[in-house]
Copies of this chain bind each other. A is one copy, B any other.
Amino acid sequence: MRPANHVQREARYNALLDAGARCIAEHGYMATRTADICLIAQMSAGNLFHYFPSKQALLLALIAREGQQIQQEMEHLLQEQQPLEALMGFLLHLCQLAEDPHYTGLALEIAALSHRDPQVCKLARHNDLLLREGLAALVRQANDLGLVRPGLCAEQIANWLAVMIDGLFARVAVDPQFAPQAQGPVLQELALHLLQGNRT
Q: Which residues of B contact A174 (CB under 8 A)?
A: 111, 114, 124-125, 128, 166
| Chain A contact residues: helix, strand, loop or mixed | helix
Known: A28-B116, A112-B115, A116-B28. A163 touches B167 (CB 8 A): yes
A5 in the interface, Cβ–Cβ < 8 Å? no
Q: Is the beta-carbon distance between A162 and B171 smaller than 8 angstroms?
A: yes
Segment 125-142 of A: residues with Cβ below 8 Å from B: 125, 128-129, 132
Interface size class of A (residues with CB under 8 A): 35 or more
Known: A116-B28, A194-B190. A111 touches B170 (CB 8 A): yes
Closest B-chain residue to A179, C-beta based? Answer: B159
Q: Is the beta-carbon distance between A163 and B159 smaller than 8 angstroms?
A: no
A186 in the interface, Cβ–Cβ < 8 Å? yes
Q: Is the beta-carbon distance between B178 and A171 smaller than 8 angstroms?
A: no
How close is A100's CB to chain B, nearest CB, in angstroms? Answer: 16
Q: Which residues of B contact A129 (CB under 8 A)?
A: 175
Q: Which residue, of A164, A165, A167, has the highest number of chain B Cβ atoms within 10 A?
A: A167
Segment 142-200 of A: residues with Cβ below 8 Å from B: 156, 159-160, 162-171, 173-176, 178, 183, 186, 190, 193-194, 198-200
Known: A163-B171, A169-B170. 4 other contacts (CB 8 A): A108-B112, A111-B174, A112-B112, A193-B198
